[in-house]
Structure 1
Amino acid sequence: MNIALPASGLRKAQDSVFSGLVLLGVLINFSGLLSPVLETDGTLYATIAKNMAHSGDWINLTLEGRDWLDKPHLPFWLTALSYKLFGYASFAYKLPALLCWVLGGWYTYRLARFRYSVYVAQLALLMYLAVEHLLISNVDVRAEPYLTGFCIASLYHFYRLYREKSLAHAVWGAFFAGMAVMTKGIFILIIIGSGIVIDALVRGDWKGLFHPRWWLAVALTCVFFLPELYCLYVQFDLHPEKVVFGQTGVSGLRFFFWDSQFGRFTNSGPIKGAGDPFFYLHTLLWAFLPWSVLFYYALYERFKNRKKADDWVLTGGVLFSLLLFSASKFQLPHYLNVLYPMMCILTAQVVAAAEHKRWMIAVQYGISGLLFLAGLLGIYLISISFGWVAFLLVGILAVGAIGLFPPVSITNAVRVSLLASLVMNGVYSLLLYPAIVGYQSGNRVADYVNQQGDIPEISVIPGDAANYALEFYAEKPVRYLTFPVADTAYVFLRPEKATALTAEGYDVRVLERFPHYHISELGVSFINKETRHETLDETLLVRLTR
């Protein structure tokens, strides 16, 4: 009895520390709710959802007054519903995505606990909360938080179906798979299912893949994404006269099943890129911070002990997906987001078995120190009025974290790495973005126009990405300008366009000038207040008459 009590008390203390770190991680990730929607993709998606909520048309996706064919409908439906509840605001745009990110954390924990242990599950969740690119995606919100949550949720239930043959898991796995398809496209099913297929092949149980439960899961998945097919058919396939990608006769269904996914992979679709087979190898070094070194070590351990491995679902799924992404001609860092929950579990499992490995502890404390320094550097470069207070606070947090969790175990190393990542990203989310939001000029123009009673509406020229922030935040009608302009128009445009219109005989009177920068693509020269002016463009609000 005397021995059990201290052990029980220690367990409670460890659980309390875990709960506190999880709460802090959620709060820092949710701090993105306080920052503006960032252009280009974020404001573009926010505007499409605003058009949907405002018009009441839940089938046709439109942008700039034209049909828009790129991403599936589900994120726009969820965002439009949020607008109906909370109004047209950054908070309403980001909240559904962040709730899906929470779903991803919950299922990361559940899968790690089911497959390994409570301890591994706790490590995996702490890692999930601190992954650099997930934190970035919760500030610059696009489709990734939705996809991250839906994919790991689907994998969890399909994994349970694979092991237990429960029909309930077939239904839930198919439901979340259908949601993932209606977020990104049919290609995502390969990411969800590849690990299970690889594990079955390694085990020599390929016949099990044709068990009726899997046919049921496939059929249900198709049923769950039928709404997307219906919308695409109604908007595009029923109207071959519509001009999309500069041509008529575009099939929404063909785009969904081939051009948007496999077409990008083979570079045969309307949206093209140039691939680099090593792109994701070096992208992971920063995108999966502070766990990237541990992840590469985890892969090494898995292959070194591959004959003892009793499960290839996670390892196979991650490696196959990385190879697939690397072979693609169209590559972007955020494609990796769907893999991070699996990577966290893989890394946590290896880390849990190396509690006192000194080099691992040293590496994590070294990375943590660099992240704390990055936070301090960010405060210095931002040059805010209370910067010295923030600087002192970050310094105290860094010293306090190491003092509270000394470098004696990998568990402490994970805790300190988590805190370092949260502190650095908290600096950028809570201090940097509020300080620079004014350089996303569409926001400032919207504020200006909203306060001017003599400006009934604002006009923009199609094709400028800066329009989307204005269109989202403006409380007055935003029109897309057509020429020739017969009446007086208040127009948001670039200086070179104003010059061109003047040359065409229009009277262009500048009302306001606004500094502009693409703030979702930060550079050191822009962050540094002393050199920021060198990086700025300019936009204008003009009164245009013939």
Structure 2
Amino acid sequence: MDFFYKKKNIKYLYILIAIVYAIGLFIPLMENDSAQHAVMAMRMYLNDNLFEFYKGPNPYLDKPHMHFWLAAISYKIFGLQEWAYRLPAILFTVLGAISTYHLTKKLYDKSIAHYGSLIFLTSQSIILANHDVRTDAVLTGAVIFSIWQFFEYLLTKKTLPIILGAVAMGIAFSTKGFYGVAIICFSLFAHIIYNKKFSFIFSYKILIAFVVFFLSITPILYAYYVQFGWDGVEFILWKQNVNRATASGFKQNSPDYAFFFHSLLWVFLPWAFLMYFGLFYQIKKWVKNGFKKTKGVEFLTIGGILIILVIISFSKFKLPHYLNPLIPSLSIFTAGVLYNLNVDGKQKTLKVFLGFVYFFVLVLAIASFLILFFTFNTPTILTVILALLSFIILILTLVKKEEISNKILVNSVLLMIFVNVVLNSYFYPKLLQYQGGMNIAKIIKEKNINIDDIYIYENNYSWSLDFYTKKNIPWISTDEIKDIKDEIWLFTKKKNDIENLKKQEFIITEKIEAENFRVTRLNLKFLNPKTRSSKTGKVYLVKIKKEV
């Protein structure tokens, strides 16, 4: 089956990838961050106020507003829907894929331009980031688009690319502070140093870029000033990234200096091993050539990546999704590795990596079918058909004789399509049914409970409860309850809270409970239906009144 190996049919790979992403649009929102961000944007939308930024009842002084603004605008256009929250992420991912395509073509060869974008779109963390949506998808698209446009300026000296690059850099800043800006600047710095293009730095057009960048971040600075005064402006211009680097205000979560390097093995699945080999292969060529400019070696991608990885490895607060904005550059570089190995006639090396593909197919296929048939309830006929069709296409393509670099690319892409058809159409929808807040929201709707009578007790927040009731449910303390004369409903995650309320002379007139599990903390006992109940808990909605 050579269908997908023909250049004219490359568009069908994109169509299959689009199906995977489209399915992910309708997955329930995942606690904590994704649902939390969706609810924070919902508050902006419901209050018609983009400048008052809250997490629950508390002012939110952390990430900038851009991701939340885009979600709130999407709600305004399409309503409070899961897919509306995710739509900006999808659009910026498409922008990232287009940018990756063009940079791959310009840095390496037009024959592999699609390699870069296909690698990017099928990297597991990028697929995940488009249904478990946080700030990273918008940041990733903005960063690689900015790098592409600044690179175009370096090639052509035209003004428009430098303006577009500066605007995109402003969006990156407005999404996650200076982290995205640093990735852009270090990538360009590595490229300029490697190519000795120092004259570009001293062009008057650089001043245009600074002015445009400043103008593009002005709305964010104004938003911080409106809510927090000059302290807010100081925070986003300096303290935010310093606080994360030093874990000030955060729990230090990883002293491991190699954390990001080994996290890449799954974040950049299934491309990480090829990328790491390529890193040594390309640098070896450069060193052998006396550190001079070498054919097939570029530093716009890998130079910026290495600088950033070294810097963030010293941070005391580390999370795997911090790597997402590097994935487009990693994808371009990995496409270049495939191209160079083929041009250099390294067929034996390519065969080794084709062997990795066979291994991943075996392992991930077994894992996917175990998930499909041995974790939750029997999948629907449609899910089974989609999974089997994608698996059959993969196998038929895998056994076809073809140029090895093409086989590595096409079969890895088809493998990730198969895996994520299973995950997006079956596993995540079933898993997320164990989110207690979402289940309570369904019961509230079924029983037609007045949402205005419901409160979150103490700090038992549930972002999925807020989103699926389409209300920022107020929080209430025990002291505040004493001042309420009528019956009210309280949501809590703790059974002890109910007993404590009884001791404080409150009568429980009705109790509703739902199964609950922290879905981001998966373990084998939960995945095994026979032992699942030992790992799940309960959440409660209780109706209370004072004793007379």
Please say whether Structure 1 and Structure 2 have the same fold, judged by a TM-score greater than 0.5.
yes
Shift of 1:90: 0.8
Residues 118-267 of structure 1 aligned to structure 2 (within 5 Å)? 118-206=110-198, 208-237=200-229, 251-267=231-247
Match of 2:322 among 328, 335, 356: 335
Match of 1:468 among 463, 466, 491: 463
Residues 530-541 of structure 1 aligned to structure 2 (within 5 Å)? 530-541=530-541
What secondary structure is seen at the aligned counterpart in 2 of 1:313?
A: coil
Change (3 A) 1:454 1:344: closer
Look up the match of 1:98: 90
Match of 1:411 among 399, 406, 420: 406
Shift of 1:476: 5.8
Shift of 1:394: 4.1
Is structure 2 residue 376 aligned with structure 1 residue 377?
no
Partners of 1:199 and 1:120 lie apart in 2 by 21
Look up the match of 1:423: 418
RMSD of the TM alignment (CA)? 2.3
Partners of 1:454 and 1:296 lie apart in 2 by 56
Partners of 2:521 and 2:401 lie apart in 1 by 35
Look up the match of 2:279: 299
Look up the match of 1:438: 433
Look up the match of 2:16: 24
Look up the match of 1:5: none
What secondary structure is seen at the aligned counterpart in 1 of 2:324?
A: helix
- Does structure 1 retain, via aligned residues, the 8 Å contact 2:379–2:426? no
Shift of 1:453: 3.3
Partners of 2:54 and 2:278 lie apart in 1 by 45
Partners of 1:30 and 1:325 lie apart in 2 by 33
Partners of 1:157 and 1:528 lie apart in 2 by 49
**Deviates further, 215-224 or 40-49:** 215-224
Partners of 2:48 and 2:228 lie apart in 1 by 18
Look up the match of 1:7: none
Match of 2:351 among 334, 353, 358: 358
What amino acid maps onto 2:234 in structure 1?
R
Q: Any gaps of 5 or more consecutive residues in structure 2?
A: none
What amino acid maps onto 2:460 in structure 1?
D
Look up the match of 1:459: 455
Change (3 A) 1:75 1:89: same
Residues 461-540 of structure 1 aligned to structure 2 (within 5 Å)? 461-465=457-461, 467-475=462-470, 478-482=473-477, 483-485=479-481, 486-487=484-485, 488-494=487-493, 495-540=495-540
Look up the match of 2:102: 110
Residues 72-87 of structure 1 aligned to structure 2 (within 5 Å)? 72-87=64-79
- Does structure 1 retain, via aligned residues, the 8 Å contact 2:440–2:513? no
What amino acid maps onto 1:455 in structure 2?
N
- Does structure 2 retain, via aligned residues, the 8 Å contact 1:191–1:321? yes
Partners of 1:374 and 1:509 lie apart in 2 by 46
Change (3 A) 1:205 1:453: closer
What secondary structure is seen at the aligned counterpart in 1 of 2:96?
A: helix
Residues 267-282 of structure 1 aligned to structure 2 (within 5 Å)? 267-268=247-248, 272-282=252-262
Change (3 A) 1:381 1:215: farther
Change (3 A) 1:112 1:223: same
Look up the match of 1:314: 301
What secondary structure is seen at the aligned counterpart in 2 of 1:297?
A: helix
Shift of 1:524: 2.7
Partners of 2:66 and 2:250 lie apart in 1 by 22
- Does structure 2 retain, via aligned residues, the 8 Å contact 1:64–1:462? no
Q: Deviations over 1:493-527 (max 9, x none)?
A: 02122222222222234421111012233333222
TM-score, normalised relative to structure 2: 0.90
- Does structure 1 retain, via aligned residues, the 8 Å contact 2:191–2:299? yes
- Does structure 1 retain, via aligned residues, the 8 Å contact 2:32–2:463? yes
Q: Any gaps of 5 or more consecutive residues in structure 1?
A: 1-9, 239-250
Look up the match of 2:41: 49
What secondary structure is seen at the aligned counterpart in 1 of 2:49?
A: coil
Change (3 A) 1:512 1:407: farther
- Does structure 2 retain, via aligned residues, the 8 Å contact 1:187–1:262? no
Shift of 1:454: 4.7
What amino acid maps onto 2:535 in structure 1?
T
- Does structure 2 retain, via aligned residues, the 8 Å contact 1:265–1:329? yes
**Deviates further, 210-219 or 133-142:** 210-219
- Does structure 2 retain, via aligned residues, the 8 Å contact 1:264–1:272? no
Shift of 1:272: 4.9
What amino acid maps onto 1:366 in structure 2?
F
Look up the match of 1:368: 361
**How many percent identity over aligned positions?**
27
Partners of 1:464 and 1:174 lie apart in 2 by 42
Partners of 2:43 and 2:341 lie apart in 1 by 52
What secondary structure is seen at the aligned counterpart in 1 of 2:539?
A: strand
